[in-house]
Amino acid sequence: MSSENPLDDEDTFKILIATDIHLGYLEKDAIRGNDSYNTLNEILKCAKTNQVDFILLGGDLFHENKPSRRCLHSSITMLRKYCMGDSPVTFNILSDQTVNFNTTQFPWVNYQDENLNISIPVFSIHGNHDDPTGAEGLCALDLLSASGLVNHFGHSHSVERIEISPVLMQKGRTKLALYGLGSIPDERLYRMFVNNQVSMLRPKEDQDEWFNLFTIHQNRSKHGPTNYIPEQFLDDFIDLVVWGHEHECLIAPTRNEQQLFYVTQPGSSVATSLSPGEATKKHIGLLRVKGRKMNLQKIPLKTVRQFFIQDVVLADYEDLFTPDTPQVMKKVEDLCYAKVTEMLDEAERERLGSSLTPEKPLIRLRVDYSGGFEVFNTSRFSQKFVDRVANPKDIIHFLRRREQKEDIKDDANVDYSKLLKVTAVEGLRVEDLVKQYFEAAEEKVQLSLLTEKGMGKAIQEFVDKDEKDAIEELITFQLEKAQRHLQARGVSTEEDIDKEVRHFRDSKKNTTEEEDDIKEAMNRAKAHQRERGDETVDPDISDEVTDVTMDSDEGSAPAPTRGRGRGARGRGSRGRGRGAAASEPKPAGRGRSQKSSAATQSRSIMQAFQAPSRSSRTVAAMSFAVDEVTIEDSDEDTPFMKAAKHPARPSSSSLPKYSSQSQSQSSRGVAFDDSDDDEDNPFKGPGRSRR
């Protein structure tokens, strides 16, 4: 790319945008182990080549909550290589940095640290893979923050109220307000938005002069009634939203016609699941902001492994075979072989001239064998491509559609499209599996003290984050709380105890108190673990890594599965001598077969998380002045300017004041005078918008 561009001047912010890098994904795989590291290296090298002002990451920098030594070493090495240097940083931070960077003992931006020499600052929020855990609420990003390599922002410490305070930046005459919100369970954040418990702070002075950029890491697509965050929940003074967590690359900004802001979804830089959304070409973005105008340039990633996916419905090939055709299985296998070979040929054609693209592509063929067909041996089939593909073990994925029986009362109003559903589901979360188990279980094996949500959360902590004592400590905490509840109510008979425990459990299901108490119990469990001096086994020491699919591109909250040989060191080592402690309370049976004295020890499990009910706080709505934003876009390669002098660190007395703003109900419009014929893409050509 050229070194000069008329768009790059002393008033223009240049920001490199990327999300969901998932560093360390399948790092022990012989073929795909270096994919995430190569792509991060390409992203950082691109930032340095383009002389950006800073890098903005939208969460999930790390794939594991506890990255291995290799993963941490590689990330630190690359950040030091590309982000440190003598090039001056040409923008100032105007906001209160002790509020913006509240997760470190060095609460200021790293390039203003007199002991560091930073040329490209990195600002990042945390995702659901590398989210804070433990009583201290620390995550892997905090390690990089303490070492001065990354500026971790957007971490909310409160579970009752979220106030998003922006990082206020100024370069020349351009003022940029950078908002960030790290990953929060979607159901909880959804409820907080509904209850007006989320507010975004704005400067009191010159509100119309700020370009407002918001980074979020949540479900964007709807996975349930409250298991996502609608775009309409976000404040309408925002100009651009960088949406992380969704893996499908939809980096071209789209306009929300209700809130009248734009949303860009960069997607992941490595395929963590073999789903259609991951097959789209991977990009990062180069965002230019000058005044109230912006320009977003797509930059394709060259080190990403190719991924091709096709669907085959065997019933559509009646002219070739039917379930009754002789040797039909052989003919089906030949068809699949032809399809895979076709995708491999296409991959080879696309790879010509690109030396950075890995040689072996990812191939996925989803075969619908509904209608009486039989499946063939996939292991034997995969051996034919073991030297040509990166995922030989899971090239073929068989699925079958079956008719779901539903209660049909009115034949005239039947939606027949819902009668056929795919039974194969990829990317299920641990909580979903727990919920499905108890929904299908008989009455005699239902939970009496625990709720499904609490049990699912404890199991998720055990599976995702290797917290070996999560389940046991959670149960102990909840049992104690249930016992206190029974004593306070003065219940004595066995029948009353059973009734009161069930009532106590049911009263807290699907409430805010339930989520708050789960978090409180998990924090106490981790604190107890530290008090006992237990050491966590180094995640870098493991037996093997299983080749599994992770996040769906559609944003389902992942449950990363590690092939760490837990049977040898996980569950088997969790006893810690508790069984011999006479004073340790044991959960009572589900039954009414327990005696009264034993029943009083039945301390509730999930509902034992009583927390004082929170009153819903309302935020005073403030009207704001009509904004004027002009947005530009260009698909051409753009050159880059030389940076100016290193700015002086602003004094705290010069920091602007903030005012709280809830979701305003006032509408604002964006009208474009665009000479381009393509009206669907407002980023084509120099366009002006008026709000």
Q: 165-175, pLDDT tens digit by residue?
A: 999 999 999 99
Strand partners for 300: 283
Highest-pLDDT range among 31-40, 406-415, 559-568: 31-40
- Distances from the Cα of 532 to the Cαs of 469, 535, 581, in angstroms? 12, 9, 14
Decide: helix, strand or coil at residue 472.
Answer: helix
Least trusted range by pLDDT, from 37-46, 451-460, 518-527, 647-656: 647-656
Let me know: does 125 contact 178? Beta carbons within 8 Å: no
Pairing between strand 167-171 and 174-181?
antiparallel
Q: Cβ(597)–Cβ(467) under 8 Å?
A: no
- Residue range 288-315: average pLDDT? 96
Amino acid identity of residue 239, one-letter, is D
Please state the pTM of the whole predicted model: 0.65
- Among the listed residues 22, 63, 129, 247, the single catalytic one is 129
The predicted pLDDT at position 233 comes to: 97
For the chain, how long is the longest CA-to-CA vector? 85
**Range 186-212 average pLDDT:** 95
Handedness of CA 242, 247, 249, 254 (dihedral sign): negative
Structure tokens at 250: 């939809």
Which pLDDT belongs to residue 623? 38
Q: Residue 594 pLDDT more than 60? A: no
Q: Is 323 exposed, middle or buried (0-12, 13-18, 19+ CB in 10 A)?
A: middle
Judging by DSSP bridges, how do beta strands 283-290 and 293-300 pair with one another?
Answer: antiparallel
String of b and e for 300-319 (b: at least 16 CB within 10 Å)? ebebbbbbbbbebebeeeee
- Sign of the dihedral through C-alpha 127, 254, 165, 13: positive
Report helix, strand and coil shares of the chain as percent, to nearest 5: 30, 15, 55
Rounded Cα–Cα distance for residues 566 and 467 (Å)? 12
Instruction: Check pLDDT > 70 for residue 614.
Output: no
Q: What is the secondary structure of 214-272 as a DSSP string? A: EEEES--S-SSSSSS--GGGS-TT-SEEEEES--S-EEEEEE-TTT--EEEE---SS--
> Angle at Cα 88 formed by Cα 42 and Cα 654, nearest 5°?
120
Q: What tokens appear for 551 in the block?
A: 């996040």
Q: Which of 213-227, 489-503, 668-682 has the lowest mean pLDDT?
A: 668-682
Phi, psi values for residue 307, rounded to 5°: -140, 125
Q: Which residue has the tokens 């995430």?
A: 36
Counting beta carbons within 10 angstroms of the beta carbon of residue 55, is it exposed (0 to 12), middle (13 to 18) or buried (19 or more)? buried
Q: Are 526 and 534 in contact (CB under 8 A)?
A: no
CA angle 165, 168, 172 (to 5 degrees): 170
Note the residue count of the chain: 691
The confidence score (pLDDT) of residue 403 equals 54
Residue 303 is predicted with a pLDDT of 97
How far, in Å, CA of 595 to CA of 339, rounded?
65
Low-confidence winner among 181-185, 339-343, 484-488 (lowest mean pLDDT): 484-488
> What are the pLDDT digits (tens) for 16-33?
999 999 999 999 999 999
How many Cβ atoms are within 10 Å of 674's Cβ, its own excluded? 18
CA distance 528 to 536: 13
Q: Which secondary structure element, helix H or strand E, spans residue 342, and what is its range?
A: helix 328-351
User: Mean pLDDT highest for which of 349-358, 398-407, 518-527?
Assistant: 349-358
Does the pLDDT at position 536 exceed 50? Answer: no
State how far Cα 652 lies from the chain centre: 34
Q: What is the DSSP letter of 551?
A: -
127: helix, coil or strand? coil
CB atoms inside a 10 Å sphere around CB 424? 11
pLDDT at 631: 42
- Is 129 noted as a catalytic residue in this protein? yes
Mean confidence (pLDDT) of the chain: 78
Give residue 629's pLDDT.
43
- Residue 394 near residue 274 (C-beta atoms within 8 A): yes
Q: How confident is the model at residue 445 (pLDDT cuts 50, 70, 90)?
A: low
Consecutive H or E run containing 213: strand 210-217
Residue 358: closest CA among 36, 687, 44, 675? 36
User: Scanning the structure block, which residue is given the tokens 């960030």?
Assistant: 180
The pLDDT value given to residue 67: 97
Comparing 524 with 579, the larger pLDDT belongs to: 524
User: What's the N-to-C CA distance of the chain in angstroms?
Assistant: 35
Res. 539 pLDDT band, cuts 50 70 90: very low
- List the beta bridge partners of residue 16: 55, 286
332-388 pLDDT tens trace: 999 999 999 999 999 999 999 889 999 999 999 999 999 999 999 999 999 999 999
Element (H or E) spanning 312, and its range?
Answer: strand 307-313
